[in-house]
Structure formats: C-alpha cells, structure tokens
Structure 1
Amino acid sequence: MSYEIAERLGLAVWVKDLKAARSLGRLGNIHYMSKRLKYVFLYVDGKKADQMIRRIEQMHFVTRVDRSLRRELETEFHKPTRLTSG
C-alpha cells in the first residue's frame, strides 16, 4: 500500500470576526489564528487552491486572502565566502 503526500498551500485569511472564521476549518486545516491582527493561517489542498480562494473571498467576514510565498523562497543556502583583509 502506498500513500501519496498531498500538495498543500498555505493561505493567510484576513477576517472581521474570529468567531465566524472558525468555519474555515471545514475548507482546510487551521494552523494559527491571531486575535490581535485578526487573521487565520490555514492549509488547503494545492490542486483545488484557486477554487478554494474564490470560495473563501466570497464569505461575508473575509476582507482579504493572501497566498503563502514559501514556494518562491530559496531553500538551498550556500556558505558565505570569507572576506580577507589585506
């Protein structure tokens, strides 16, 4: 039996009401909720991300949806070259 790891996308969903934002758990996995900044970070299925974003944006308590930029970040780091004086 082989399992496939689903590709997922992180979304920052800015909301007006945190109590209503709990309902986002039906659409994906809620990772973090910020009471002070009023946003929810959740993970959704990467293959269905575009339709999920459109669906989330239509909710009355949502002000903005931002995609995670993690995929665009470079993850391979190189050892810095040492500068010599002289």
Structure 2
Amino acid sequence: MNIAERLGLAVWVKDLKAARSLGRMGNIHYISKRLKYVYLYVDGRTADQLIHRIERLPYVQRVERSQRTKISLDFSKKINSPHI
C-alpha cells in the first residue's frame, strides 16, 4: 500500500462562501472565519499545478505552502542535553 505525499496549504481568501469550493482541489482541514483563511491538504505530486490554479481564482488573496517538510524532527540532541 502506497501512502500519497500530502502538502498543506494556507489559502487566504476574500470570501468564505466561495472558499468552500476549494474542497474540489483537496481536503479542507480548517476554515478560519476571523482571519479568513482555509487550510487545505493537496496531493504533493501535483501541488505546483494546483497552487497555480488556486492563485488565479478571483476570491484568493495569496497561497502559502506548509513549512513542515523543512522542520527537523530529530530530537535526539535535545533529549540528551543537560537541563539548564
């Protein structure tokens, strides 16, 4: 069984009603009514094409990629260091 690579996107929108249509492009994880953004998971292989399509939508202000892939998850150095 292959697990598809997912990429998280924060999509800042002007209109939240129209933002629901982003569900066609990926899985909507969260919609913030106060800050007007949608957190969306998309397929990692086709992410560049989807980001380009999303940015062209009239109700989208900007799209930000998740930085999770750039964060080091190796905590062995942190555990073995003495407490201050």
Aligned to 1:75: 73
Superposition pairs for residues 1-86 of structure 1, below 5 Å? 3-78=1-76, 79-82=79-82
Aligned length: 82
Q: 1:81 to 1:24 in 2, by over 3 A?
A: same
Q: After TM superposition, give the deviation of residue 66 of structure 1 in Å.
A: 0.1
Q: After TM superposition, give the deviation of residue 80 of structure 1 in Å.
A: 4.5
Asked which structure has the greater CA Rg, the reply is 1
Question: In the TM superposition, what whole-angstrom CA distance separates every residue of 1:32-76 from its partner, at most 9, and x where no partner exists?
Answer: 000000000000000000000000000000000000000000111
Structure 1 moving runs of 4+ over 2 Å:
none
Alignment TM-score, normalising by the size of structure 1: 0.90
Q: After TM superposition, give the deviation of residue 4 of structure 1 in Å.
A: 1.0
Q: 1:80 to 1:50 in 2, by over 3 A?
A: same
Q: Identify which range, 47-56 or 71-80, moves more after superposition.
A: 71-80
- Amino acid corresponding to residue 54 of structure 1 in structure 2: H
Report SS of the residue matched to 1:25: helix
Alignment TM-score, normalising by the size of structure 2: 0.92
CA distance in 2, matches of 1:83, 1:29: 41
